[in-house]
């Protein structure tokens, strides 16, 4: 796990040193264990390293006999199998990231089709003066680029491109509107003008500082739901899950688990305990003194059942006010997901003990856990409705002008991902996997953990698991009004203490409750922020915060996050203490 960045000039001149050093400074939190530098002709790249596998010889760049060099962010879980396959190749390290370099020499830009893992890689061949950028198909690891008149630059985080002066700090209107209405943005364009995402599964070939070809690997398999019986599907699922968990526990450093009271993390807990590779260290969050459901007791029960060490972490209202400016600074590609707060606090605590955390991200998308799937597949006369049909600020009268194109990215994904052989449920899952998963949930996980020098791993987001989960018959995903039916059946067999078929409350963070308590004080501060003033009617913002209902509280939270994010990443102003001190500061 690392931070990577680089720059290729369009003129053929050697890249200047200053932006490269700024890249390293901006990405230092992603790799506290070392730095690497590379220069050749019109190209240079850097890396900051978080050492997870091959602690002694795995420094980057890594070179192969033909002269190509690689820097990478992520883990290639099938690196042992790839080494066995690459007979006759001479390896210089024991790193999991070296096999992709040899695969590239053998297969060219198709090298990534052999990789099983999470990754963002850069490979440069000085003989051809060609650069190849690749990102894993689920988009677990981030990668961004900017094309200017002088160069193409790339980095693990947009803030590196901003702080190196590659692009100016300015907003792109459509992704900004998506952020306000959806809590994340879709597709290739970030909210920063001129900064784009390497899409999940993309492989870009670059020459003379310009993209010359694109290709893409899909995270999800083709084909309709399979005609499997429940028994056969359970057998296939068990084999895929065990294979994935064994791969995801390949590590030379200690690792743990984020454990909630939900289905997904309980499945991961059971798998880790069953694999028997090490006693599981599980971290659970709670919100004392609030009205939300506390998951700690249930998590404590299932952790005890498998003999796991259980660490409970409290998140308080004071944490919310103190940590939110830090969080907004860390989440440069913004997602206004209130789960940022517990994820950030859990990462800080876990980072004291481990360098790797497994989580249940992806379970809802692959096994159809969200209520919106059940609504989507119903006909309209039975209450069915389109995915994400209502925006956060719809009908609140807060914005100066109602956004009009904020659903365009969702509509484009729906059109692209709808195929004749996919069920309506599969189409809805594919849309979520295209944008919601990489641009909300996985950004949240990546930025919150990397801020504390911790790597996040997601065993559900594995090609073998996806091959089974996505092909499950619809009735093995949703049954009797509940999603994740087959996953619940699996958990009922392997960890019945998790009570997978009991009605459970969804995971909730009491941000609305906390904002409501101090809304009268907070509203005027939010209304005065430059990023808010240009979009919203100030007196309506103040009213929104004064006494918000459930819908209004989520809008208030989104506006609070946006104000802090805009202040840090567009205005370039540092945090000045807690939320109130930061918003009151003029510098």
Residue 289 lies in a domain: yes
Q: What CATH number should be reported for the domain holding residue 325?
A: 3.40.50.620
For residue 278, what pLDDT is reported?
A: 76
Q: Which one of 472, 498, 524 terminates a domain?
A: 498
pLDDT averaged per 10 residues in sequence order, the chain, 587 residues: 93 96 96 92 95 78 94 95 93 93 95 97 96 98 97 98 97 97 98 98 98 97 96 98 96 93 95 89 95 91 96 97 98 97 97 96 96 80 70 95 93 92 95 97 98 96 98 96 96 96 81 94 97 96 89 94 98 95 90
* 516 shares its domain with 489: no
* 175 shares its domain with 293: no
Q: Which one of 443, 474, 498 terminates a domain?
A: 498
Residue 575 lies in a domain: yes
**CB of 122 closer than 8 Å to CB of 71:** yes
* 127 shares its domain with 265: no
* 84 shares its domain with 143: yes
For residue 505, what pLDDT is reported?
A: 65
Give the separation between CA 424 and CA 179, rounded to whole angstroms. 26
Nearest CA to 118 out of 156, 80, 76 is that of: 76
Question: Distances from the Cα of 44 to the Cαs of 7, 64, 120, 166, in angstroms?
Answer: 6, 17, 17, 14
* 257 shares its domain with 367: yes
Give the separation between CA 368 and CA 371, rounded to whole angstroms. 8
Residue 222 lies in a domain: no
Q: What helix, strand, coil percent values describe the chain, rounded to 5?
A: 40, 15, 40
* 488 shares its domain with 516: no
Q: How many CB atoms lie within 10 A of CB 229?
A: 10
* 328 shares its domain with 386: yes
Residue 116 lies in a domain: yes
Question: Domains in the chain: how many in total?
Answer: 3
**Residue 523 token pair:** 């509203």
* 312 shares its domain with 378: yes
* 386 shares its domain with 328: yes
* 484 shares its domain with 569: no
CA 64 to chain centre: 31
| SS3 state at 178 | helix
Q: Which one of 498, 526, 555 terminates a domain?
A: 498
Q: 550-569 and 173-182 are packed helices; what angle lies between their axes, rounded to 10 degrees?
A: 140
For residue 55, what pLDDT is reported?
A: 76
Question: Distances from the Cα of 234 to the Cαs of 229, 238, 370, 486, in angstroms?
Answer: 9, 6, 21, 7
For residue 557, what pLDDT is reported?
A: 97
For residue 145, what pLDDT is reported?
A: 98
* 455 shares its domain with 490: yes
Q: Could you tell me which residues come within 8 angstroms of residue 21 by beta carbon, excluding any fewer than 6 positions away?
A: none
Give the separation between CA 426 and CA 225, rounded to whole angstroms. 8
Give the separation between CA 248 and CA 268, rounded to whole angstroms. 11
Residue 503 lies in a domain: no
Q: What is the pLDDT of residues 289-307, one digit of tens each?
A: 898 888 999 999 999 999 9
Residue 298 lies in a domain: yes
Domain of residue 559, residue span: 511-584
For residue 376, what pLDDT is reported?
A: 82
Is the pTM higher than 0.75? The answer reads yes
* 84 shares its domain with 130: yes
DSSP string, 232-299: HHHHHHHHHHHHHHHHHT--SS-EEEE--SSHHHHHHHHHHHHHTSS--EEEEEE-TTSSSPP-HHHH
Q: Is the dihedral of CA 182, 329, 565, 409 positive or negative?
A: negative
Residue 504 lies in a domain: no
Nearest CA to 113 out of 241, 187, 1, 202 is that of: 202
Q: If residue 31 lies in a helix (H) or strand (E), which one and from where to where?
A: none
């Amino acid at each position: 796990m690392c931070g990577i960045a680089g720059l290729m000039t369009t003129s053929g001149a050697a890249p200047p040193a200053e932006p490269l050093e700024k890249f390293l400074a901006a990405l230092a939190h992603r790799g506290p264990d070392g730095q690497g530098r590379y220069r050749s002709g019109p190209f240079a790249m850097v890396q900051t390293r978080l050492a997870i596998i091959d602690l002694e010889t795995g420094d980057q760049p890594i070179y192969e006999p033909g002269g190509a060099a690689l820097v990478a962010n992520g883990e290639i879980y099938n690196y042992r199998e790839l080494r066995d396959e690459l007979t006759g190749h001479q390896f210089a390290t024991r790193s999991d990231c070296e096999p992709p370099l040899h695969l590239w020499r053998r297969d060219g830009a198709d090298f990534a089709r052999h990789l099983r893992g999470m990754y963002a890689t850069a490979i440069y061949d000085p003989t051809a003066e060609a650069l190849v950028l690749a990102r894993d198909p689920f988009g677990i690891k981030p990668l961004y680029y900017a094309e200017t008149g002088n160069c193409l630059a790339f980095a693990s985080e947009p803030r590196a491109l901003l702080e190196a002066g590659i692009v100016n700090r300015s907003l792109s209107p459509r992704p900004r509107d998506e952020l306000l209405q959806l809590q994340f943005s879709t597709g290739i364009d970030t909210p920063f003008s001129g900064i784009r995402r390497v899409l999940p599964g993309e492989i870009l070939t670059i020459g003379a500082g310009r993209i010359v070809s694109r290709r893409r690997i899909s995270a999800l398999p083709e084909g309709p739901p399979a005609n499997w019986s429940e028994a056969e599907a359970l057998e296939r699922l068990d084999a895929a899950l065990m294979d994935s968990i064994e791969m995801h526990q390949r590590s030379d450093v200690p690792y743990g688990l984020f454990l909630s009271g939900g289905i997904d993390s309980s499945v991961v807990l059971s798998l880790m305990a069953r694999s028997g590779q090490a006693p599981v260290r599980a971290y659970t969050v709670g919100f004392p003194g609030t009205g939300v459901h506390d998951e700690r007791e249930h998590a404590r029960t299932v952790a005890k059942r498998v003999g796991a060490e259980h660490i409970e972490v409290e998140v308080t209202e004071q944490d919310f006010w103190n940590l939110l400016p830090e969080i907004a600074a860390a989440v440069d590609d913004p997602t206004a997901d209130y789960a940022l707060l517990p994820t950030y606090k859990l990462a800080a605590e876990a980072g004291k003990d481990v360098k790797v955390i497994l989580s249940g991200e992806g379970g809802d998308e692959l096994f159809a856990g969200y209520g919106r799937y059940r609504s989507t597949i119903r006909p309209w006369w039975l209450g069915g409705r389109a995915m994400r049909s209502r925006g956060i600020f719809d009908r609140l009268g807060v914005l100066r002008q109602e956004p009009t194109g904020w659903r365009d990215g969702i509509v484009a994904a729906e059109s692209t991902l709808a195929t004749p052989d996919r069920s309506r449920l599969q189409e809805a899952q594919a849309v979520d996997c295209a944008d919601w998963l990489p641009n909300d949930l996985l950004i949240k996980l990546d930025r919150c953990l990397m801020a504390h020098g911790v790597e996040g791993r997601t065993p559900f987001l594995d090609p073998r698991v996806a091959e089974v989960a996505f092909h499950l018959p619809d009735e093995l995903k949703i049954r009797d009004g509940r999603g994740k039916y087959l996953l619940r059946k699996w958990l009922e067999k392997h960890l019945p203490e998790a009570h997978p078929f009991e009605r459970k409350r969804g995971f909730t963070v009491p941000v609305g409750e906390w904002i409501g308590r101090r809304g009268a004080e907070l509203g005027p501060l939010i209304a005065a922020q430059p990023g808010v003033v240009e979009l919203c009617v100030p007196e309506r913002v103040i009213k929104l915060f004064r006494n918000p209902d459930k819908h209004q509280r989520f809008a208030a939270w989104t506006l609070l996050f946006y104000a802090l994010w805009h202040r840090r990443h567009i205005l370039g102003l540092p945090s000045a203490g807690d939320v109130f001190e930061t918003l009151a500061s003029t510098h």
